Amino acid sequence: DAGITQSPRHKVTETGTPVTLRCHQTENHRYMYWYRQDPGHGLRLIHYSYGVKDTDKGEVSDGYSVSRSKTEDFLLTLESATSSQTSVYFCAISESRVGYEQYFGPGTRLTVT
């Protein structure tokens, strides 16, 4: 199994508070991705990174920011959490932007009350 961890695994927070989710990999893969999963929507891309300090937006990036200061860590921040950001968040990593490898972390279940 690819070495990907996410922390925390579960979090409950209040509306308006900032929240940071962490994705950590031990594979030294270049590409990292944050997706959110909601019923009826599958997984949708929030942000992605193609190297240290190189990040870009996906299709549901509003209200989220990311940072990647080291190859192994990709942080997702909800600047001011809203109830619509209640979701399951998955991190994924890939060595290449082509081919069959895209490994997923175990997910973080976030509830915003």
Least distance from C-beta 61 to other proteins, angstroms? 12
Q: CA–CA separation, 25 vs 37, rounded Å?
A: 20
Instruction: Go through 27-64 and write b for each residue having 16 or more CB atoms within 10 A of its CB, e for each that does not.
Output: eebbbbbbbbeeeeeeeebbbbbeeeeebeebebbeeb
Q: What angle do CA 1, 38, 42 make, to 5 degrees?
A: 65
Please pick, from the candidates 3, 11, 43, 67, the single residue that binds other proteins as defined by CB under 8 A.
43
Which stretch in 19-27, 65-73, 75-83, 84-92 sits in contact with other proteins by CB under 8 A? Answer: 84-92
Distance CA 85, CA 80 (A): 10
Query: Does the footprint of other proteins cover residue 50 (CB under 8 A)?
Result: yes
Told to check if 97 binds other proteins by CB under 8 A, we report yes
Told to check if 10 binds other proteins by CB under 8 A, we report: no
Chain residues in the site for other proteins (CB under 8 A): 31, 33, 35, 40-45, 48, 50, 56, 58, 88, 90, 92, 94, 96-100, 102-104, 106-107, 109
